[in-house]
Amino acid sequence: MKPLLVFQTDFTYKEGAVCSMYGVVKSVDRTLEIIDGTHEIPQYDIWSASYRLVIQKKVKL
């Protein structure tokens, strides 16, 4: 099975942070498959982040 990394952050797509994270990951291991869970979680909203993790698990990325 191919290694998998799921990103879930409180960044937005308007920032360069998401792209920077992709670059760092690929510089460490080019074989990792990266999936964007979401990048629109409200800052410091732990409940919302937890809920989205549960939903993603049910969908079974």
Token pair recorded at residue 32 = 């990792």
Domain range for 34 is 4-59
**pLDDT single digits (tens) 3-58:** 888 888 888 878 788 889 999 999 999 999 998 888 888 989 999 988 888 887 77
| CA–CA dist 18, 7 (Å, integer) | 9
Structural domain count, the chain: 1
Q: What's the pLDDT band for 60 if we cut at 50, 70, 90?
A: low
Q: Please provide the distance, in angstroms rounded to a whole number, between the alpha carbons at the two ends of the chain.
A: 13
pLDDT of 61 reads: 52
